[in-house]
């Protein structure tokens, strides 16, 4: 069901992507467009229909101070992750929807509408990916299981943010013997690791829970993990932090 909702939101995004859309700046200086708002409206409407008793923390609503009280079970939504990629006409933006239970992302979908790619996790060991024709029905998708890989003998392949790379990231890559680094936008970084195309994604800059939960769910279902720099599992429902994340490392295989 989350996949169908993401597909519908992606259709709204593509409708805007093909126009000369306006770009506004939120209070935190991040960009927002009509596509963000239209996609979020669709997602919130559909989640209310299928799970009316489960609260939703969604990026655009949260940026306006609308954050519901949550319990052990809630949704995290980023209707357009990678708005900078969207604004710059790069296709690496995604729709992110995740279900969190007891601090862990137990289900999620990452959909890249401009690339026609979707990755889904609907359980702790159920990572799947599909290449989708734009606006194609989910039933027509060719779903394939995905798995993280063993670390190659030649060394780690890292994936890093195109828009948010910093000196701490470069130091991590050097200290861990990374032999190749790929750039990617949005939650596609988690998906590259989940699909066995990379091994590690370090992130030291600020992220919000809705930025990471869906990609985390997909990576977790494919055999990976996301750890803080203290080696602890990244958790969700961090109300005391304002729902932001500490620095973290996403791994295809947990380091020993």
- For residues 179-196, average pLDDT: 94
Residues 243, 118, single domain; the answer is no
Least confidently predicted of 22-36, 83-97, 183-197: 22-36
Q: Looking at 145, 172, 205, which one is the last position of a domain? A: 145
- For residues 198-221, average pLDDT: 96
| Global pTM value | 0.94
In a domain, 151, yes or no: no
CB 223 within 8 A of CB 147: yes
**Chain centroid to CA 114: how far?**
15
Predicted pLDDT at 133: 66
- For residues 22-34, average pLDDT: 89
Q: At what angle do helices 34-50 and 2-17 cross, to 10 degrees?
A: 160
Residues 125, 239, single domain; the answer is no
Q: Looking at 116, 145, 174, which one is the last position of a domain? A: 145
Q: How many domains is the chain built from?
A: 2
Residue 106 sits in a domain whose CATH number is 3.30.540.10
Residues 22, 113, single domain; the answer is yes
Q: Looking at 145, 166, 195, which one is the last position of a domain? A: 145
Residues 10, 95, single domain; the answer is yes
Residues 10, 131, single domain; the answer is yes
At 50-59, the pLDDT tens digits run 999 999 999 9
In a domain, 235, yes or no: yes
Residues 141, 201, single domain; the answer is no
Residues 56, 133, single domain; the answer is yes
Average pLDDT along the chain: 93
Residue 228 pLDDT greater than 90, yes or no: yes
List Cα–Cα distances, 7 to 24, 100, 103, in angstroms.
25, 20, 26
Residues 163, 134, single domain; the answer is no
Binding site for substrate, residues? 59, 80-83, 211
pLDDT band at 16 (very low <50, low <70, confident <90, very high): very high
Predicted pLDDT at 123: 75
In the chain, what percentage of residues exceed pLDDT 70? 96
Residues 176, 114, single domain; the answer is no
In a domain, 152, yes or no: no
Q: Where are the beta strands (DSSP E) in 127-231?
A: 128-131, 144-145, 157-161, 180-184, 200-203, 207-208, 225-228
pLDDT band at 134 (very low <50, low <70, confident <90, very high): low
Binding site, residues? 59, 78, 80-83, 211
Residues 108, 204, single domain; the answer is no
Residue 219 sits in a domain whose CATH number is 3.40.190.80
- Whole domain around residue 130: which residue ranges? 2-145
At 135-173, the pLDDT tens digits run 677 877 888 999 999 999 999 999 987 666 778 988 998
Binding site for Mg(2+), residues? 59, 78, 80-81, 211
Counting Cβ atoms within 10 Å, is residue 4 exposed (0-12), middle (13-18) or buried (19+)?
middle
Residue 242 pLDDT greater than 70, yes or no: yes
Angle 27-208-112 from CA coordinates, rounded to 5°: 100
Predicted pLDDT at 106: 95
Least confidently predicted of 119-123, 146-150, 205-209, 249-253: 119-123
């Amino acid at each position: 069901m989350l996949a169908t909702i993401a597909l519908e939101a992606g259709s709204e995004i593509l409708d805007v992507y093909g126009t000369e859309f306006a770009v506004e700046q939120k209070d935190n200086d991040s960009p927002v467009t009509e596509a963000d708002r239209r996609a979020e409206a669709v997602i919130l409407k559909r989640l209310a229909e299928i799970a009316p008793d489960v609260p939703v923390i969604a990026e655009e609503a949260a940026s306006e101070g609308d954050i519901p009280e949550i319990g052990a079970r809630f949704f995290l939504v980023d209707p357009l992750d990678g708005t900078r990629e969207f604004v710059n006409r790069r296709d690496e933006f995604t729709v992110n929807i995740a279900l969190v239970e007891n601090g862990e992302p137990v289900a999620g979908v990452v959909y890249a509408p401009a690339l026609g790619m979707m990755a889904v996790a609907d359980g702790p060991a159920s990572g799947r990916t599909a290449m989708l024709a734009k606006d194609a029905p989910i039933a027509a998708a060719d779903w394939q299981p995905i798995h993280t890989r063993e670390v190659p003998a030649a060394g780690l392949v890292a994936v890093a943010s195109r828009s948010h790379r910093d000196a701490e990231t470069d130091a991590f890559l050097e200290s861990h013997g990374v032999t190749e680094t790929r750039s990617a936008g949005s939650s596609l970084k988690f998906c590259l690791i989940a699909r066995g195309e990379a091994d590690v994604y370090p992130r030291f800059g600020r992220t919000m829970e809705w930025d990471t939960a869906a990609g985390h769910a997909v990576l977790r279902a494919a055999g990976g993990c996301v750890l803080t720099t203290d080696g602890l599992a990244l958790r969700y429902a961090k109300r005391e932090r304002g729902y932001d994340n500490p620095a973290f490392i996403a791994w295809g295989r947990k380091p020993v």
